[in-house]
Amino acid sequence: MKERSDWYTGIAGQISQLKDTLSEKVYKKYKLDLLVCVAERVDEFSPECGQCQIFRDEISTLTREASYLVQADDKDRRKAHIKMINGIAGHLQKQHKLVPDGYYIGIGMAIGAGIGAAMGAALKGIGGGLPIGIGIGLALGAALDAKARKENRILCPRKTGPDSFGNIGIDFSVNKTVLIIGLIALVIGGIVVFILLSRN
């Protein structure tokens, strides 16, 4: 991992100081956690991306104004603040091919559920097809998420250990649990399909 710039260290420090004075609810309400993530990624890409260099100025402004914004609690300004953060995150996702953590698992489960329902309808028992489809989708999604994590393409990688609010983070780089759940769903689906087919 490359060394962080003084710019990013300053941004992270300012947001950390602000975080110490806020409740977790307010911190998340203003998406300050996402602001730190996009600042880190913009810092990483700014040497070769002109748009990311421009975003550095916008992030500096967002960070500087964050404490005033929280104190004023102006709904319209908060919406504009969040829209700017989401715009930067959108650029990182489109131009730099970053994805949110768990992105492929969600897509895999949704597609798997659809395929599983179709399989179940074909076998005249939706109950058997759904777990098989979801299990396969979950396994494929977990594998793609692991690949994205390995390639450093996760927008905001989750950290392990307690954060400053006392919440314990989960190490999502360990996808064994997800794969085991997927395999269990696959086995249950197979058993249900077997039972349905043996009745006929």
Exposure of 93 by Cβ count < 10 A (0-12 exposed, 13-18 middle, 19+ buried)?
A: middle
* CA separation for the pair 200, 193 (Å, rounded): 11
Are 91 and 131 in a shared domain? no
Domain end point (choices 70, 95, 120): 95
Let me know if residue 22 belongs to a domain.
yes
**Residue 120 lies inside a defined structural domain of this protein:** yes
pLDDT in tens, 44-82: 999 999 999 999 999 999 998 888 887 887 788 889 999
pLDDT digits (tens, 9 = 90+) for 175-200: 556 666 666 766 776 676 667 666 65
Number of separate domains in the chain: 2
Residue range of the domain that includes 164:
103-199
Assigned domain for 142 exists: yes
Whether 1 is in a domain gets the answer no
Residue with tokens 């990483």: 44
Exposed, middle or buried: residue 24 (CB in 10 Å: 0-12, 13-18, 19+)? middle
Predicted pLDDT at 180: 67
The overall average pLDDT reported for the chain is: 81
Q: Do 87 and 145 fall within a single domain?
A: no
Q: Which residue has the higher pLDDT, 26 or 155?
A: 155
* 137 compared with 191, residue with greater pLDDT: 137
3-state secondary structure 110-172: HHHHHHHHHHHHHCCCHHHHHHHHHHHHHHHHHHHHHHHHHCCCECCCCCCEECCCCCEECCC
Do residues 113 and 178 share a domain? yes
Question: Is residue 14 domain-shared with residue 70, that is, in the same domain?
Answer: yes
For tokens 């609810």, the residue is 25
Last residue of a domain, one of 95, 130, 165: 95
User: Within this chain, do residues 109 and 191 fall inside the same structural domain, yes or no?
Assistant: yes
| 78 lies in the same domain as 134 | no
What's the pLDDT score for residue 125? 64
Q: How far is CA 141 from CA 108, 121, 172, in A?
A: 5, 23, 13
pLDDT value at residue 120: 77
Rounded average pLDDT over 25-32: 85
Judged against a pLDDT cut of 50, whether residue 23 lies above it is answered with: yes
Mean per-residue pLDDT, 76-93: 92
Domain co-membership, 22 together with 82: yes
Residues 163 and 86 grouped into a single domain: no
Domain boundary among 51, 74, 95: 95
User: 30, 70 in Cβ contact below 8 A?
Assistant: yes
Structure confidence at residue 169 (pLDDT): 42
Of 142, 144, 130, nearest to 185 (Cα)?
130
Measured distance CA(71)–CA(73) in Å, rounded: 6
